[in-house]
Amino acid sequence: MKSLFYFLPIAISLLAGCTKEDTTSPIQAQTFEVNATSSTDWKYFSFEKDDTIAVTNPLTSTDWDLAFQRYRIKTNGGKSGSGLGKAANSYKKGQSGFDALNLVPDTATFAVDDSLKIAVVQGYATYLVNPELYTWFTMEFASQGTQIVPSDYIYYVQTGKGKYAKVWFKSYYSPANASGFVTFQYKYQPDGSKTLE
């Protein structure tokens, strides 16, 4: 009888292990449009909130992850903020590239924000941006003027709090063709792992 009581807890434990279901559900892709039409103000975006947020001091806050000003994008790291933010180009493209990237590889080359000399109408100006994310577009000259065209690359982004997302910048124009409306698709992993599926 003594041996029965000894093995009973082990048997219950094994049965519980066999019937336990994996409650982890796949993360969902989200699409967001940022009104980044201002040439002087930055719009701050939080993956955790799935929205733009008000930030009192972007240099000390870790609540924001990306910041937008026209076609310029910052992460919350390096010279732009005190967070763990940085970005890497996966060099995969389009919907097939977005769907295929299910894990942030250890070989991804991340960059933090730094000063970058950028061509403007008057010549050049220096901005704090993420150099990897500055490849999200190309400028094409057309009869109607210069157009911002997405490069179609998929990026890995580490957030201000050190979590991960994959991001695909899809458009710079609103449905009414107004410039400065950056639309992007993303998957954000809230559990802190590098899994992005």
Mean pLDDT of the chain, nearest integer: 88
pLDDT for 141 equals 79
User: Model confidence at 121, in pLDDT bands (50, 70, 90)?
Assistant: low
For the stretch 140-164, pLDDT in tens is 877 777 899 999 999 999 999 999 9
pLDDT for 187 equals 98
Angle 171-38-144 from CA coordinates, rounded to 5°: 55
Q: 143 is written with which tokens? A: 């009869």
pLDDT for 19 equals 46
Q: Which amino acid is at 53?
A: I
pLDDT for 79 equals 96
Find out whether 179 and 158 touch, Cβ atoms under 8 Å: no
pLDDT for 142 equals 73
Beta strands in the chain (DSSP E): 30-35, 43-46, 51-53, 66-69, 72-75, 86-93, 114-120, 123-129, 137-142, 145-150, 153-158, 164-173, 179-189
For the stretch 68-85, pLDDT in tens is 999 999 999 999 999 999
Record the pTM. 0.85
Find out whether 60 and 52 touch, Cβ atoms under 8 Å: no
For the stretch 7-56, pLDDT in tens is 444 444 444 554 445 456 789 999 999 999 999 999 999 999 999 999 99
Give the number of other Cβ atoms within 10 Å of residue 69's Cβ: 21
Task: Tell me the helix, strand and coil percentages in the chain, rounded to 5.
Answer: 15, 45, 45
Give the number of other Cβ atoms within 10 Å of residue 182's Cβ: 29
Q: 179 is written with which tokens? A: 């410039």
pLDDT for 8 equals 45
